[in-house]
């Protein structure tokens, strides 16, 4: 099994095992060109909101959709959508990516936007 897939499986397993409060997951996916974030309620199996650099309001004024600035805008947008869905506390699912660069920028912008990890 690839190292990334193994790390992703390990991270998700530990999140679900330790999520006794049933908090919503903030899932991050990054590709070479974009970054995506979703709010997932595992109890009901639904997606409460999503944001990415493909959204027109997020992509407006960005030079590149694959840098730290773009990730920060996605983090702020997902925090706003979480407040609209009345979600204050989340579990951060980094999907096996290292907490560095774009993933870290997204998380910090979501914290500034009012989410608690």
**Model pTM score:** 0.90
Q: How far, in Å, CA of 50 to CA of 81, rounded?
A: 8
- CATH code at position 7: 3.30.420.100
Q: How far, in Å, CA of 35 to CA of 25, rounded?
A: 16
pLDDT, tens digit, 9 for 90 and up, residues 43-88: 899 999 999 999 999 999 999 999 999 999 999 999 999 999 999 9
Q: What total of structural domains would you count in the chain? A: 1
Domain that holds residue 98: 3-112
**Do residues 109 and 75 make contact, with C-beta atoms less than 8 angstroms apart?**
yes
Please check whether residue 117 lies inside any domain of the structure: no
H/E element, 15: helix 3-18
Q: How far, in Å, CA of 78 to CA of 107, rounded?
A: 10
Q: How confident is the model at residue 18 (pLDDT cuts 50, 70, 90)?
A: confident
Tokens matching residue 31? 């590709």
Describe the crossing of helices 102-112 and 68-84 by its angle, rounded to 10 degrees. Answer: 40
Instruction: Indicate if the pLDDT at residue 101 is higher than 80.
Output: yes
């Amino acid at each position: 099994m690839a190292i990334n897939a193994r790390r992703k499986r390990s991270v998700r397993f530990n999140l679900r095992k330790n999520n006794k409060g049933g908090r919503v997951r903030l899932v991050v996916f990054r590709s070479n060109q974009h970054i995506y974030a979703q709010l997932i309620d595992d109890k009901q199996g639904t997606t409460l909101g999503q944001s990415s650099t493909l959204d027109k309001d997020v992509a407006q004024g960005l030079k590149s959709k694959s840098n730290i600035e773009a990730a920060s805008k996605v983090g702020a947008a997902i925090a706003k959508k979480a407040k609209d869905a009345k979600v204050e506390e989340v579990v951060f699912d980094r999907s096996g990516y290292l907490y560095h660069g774009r993933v870290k920028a997204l998380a910090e912008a979501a914290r500034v936007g009012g989410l608690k990890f």
